[in-house]
Amino acid sequence: MSRILLVRHGQASWGAADYDQLSDLGLDQARILGKAFAGQGITPDVLVSGAMKRHCQTAAGVCEGAGWDLPVTTDDGWNEFDHLQVLARHPSPEGVDMKSDPRAFQKWFEEATSRWTGGEHDDYEESFAHFCDRVSASLERAIAVLEPKGTAVVFTSGGPIAWAASTRLDGDPHLWLRLNQVVINAAVTSFVVGSRGATLLAFNEHTHLSPEHQTYR
């Protein structure tokens, strides 16, 4: 069977003017993952990246660490949802400094994404349903280009990974919300591809990362 490995990007620049940029730790995470891939003897046939800078930078770091010399195809269907717009549609609690109070931010983020996934509001440029459809279409495109027993590595974000995994578990938006909360930077989610399509094999595998290299955002 073929396999598809979905890689969440390394840590981005949380709190910076340009979030869509790997931090120094994020670059380290990508190189560490690449070395782990090399140690496992993984030699991909296809490399795919979302169009965001953090995706492309993670792909470059992993390729550097693994010693891979393959072209990377860009597929913007793997892009993350617009979390800034989702947050903006659900105002933050008053009097709370989100940067210094991560628990308060997490509560706000969960409430905002629940509003988005609920489907009762149409004030988003991209609905949750459209997000799900484009991620599913990108997964199908990755499957379509794989040769028998081939390996594809895809560099993307936590939201698309959580959706790809939850659909293989017959999940719904509630399962997506739960999975999306726990995807670790530079973690790997694996699928095997056979006659029945893609089957989830492992979710959020991150044993290649030491505790000090494990981050969620």
11-65 tens-digit pLDDT = 998 766 678 999 999 999 999 999 999 999 999 999 999 999 999 999 999 999 9
For 32: left if phi > 0, alpha if psi spans -120 to 50, otherwise beta; the answer is: alpha
Q: What fold is seen in the domain 2-80+148-213? A: Rossmann fold (3.40.50)
The pLDDT of residue 108 is 85
The pLDDT of residue 167 is 94
Note the helical H segments in the chain: 24-39, 53-66, 83-88, 102-118, 128-144, 158-168, 173-180
Model confidence pTM above 0.85:
yes
Q: How far apart are CA 75 and CA 84, in angstroms?
A: 21
Q: CA angle at residue 136 from 135 to 142, to 5 degrees?
A: 90
For 197: left if phi > 0, alpha if psi spans -120 to 50, otherwise beta; the answer is: left
188-194 vs 197-205, strand pairing mode: antiparallel
The pLDDT of residue 17 is 67
Is the pLDDT reported for residue 100 higher than 90?
Answer: no
Is the pLDDT reported for residue 202 higher than 90?
Answer: yes
Of the candidate ranges 4-18, 70-84, 142-156, 199-213, the one whose mean pLDDT is the lowest? 4-18
What sign has the CA pseudo-torsion 71, 76, 82, 83?
Answer: negative
pLDDT digits (tens, 9 = 90+) for 112-144: 999 999 989 999 999 999 999 999 999 999 999
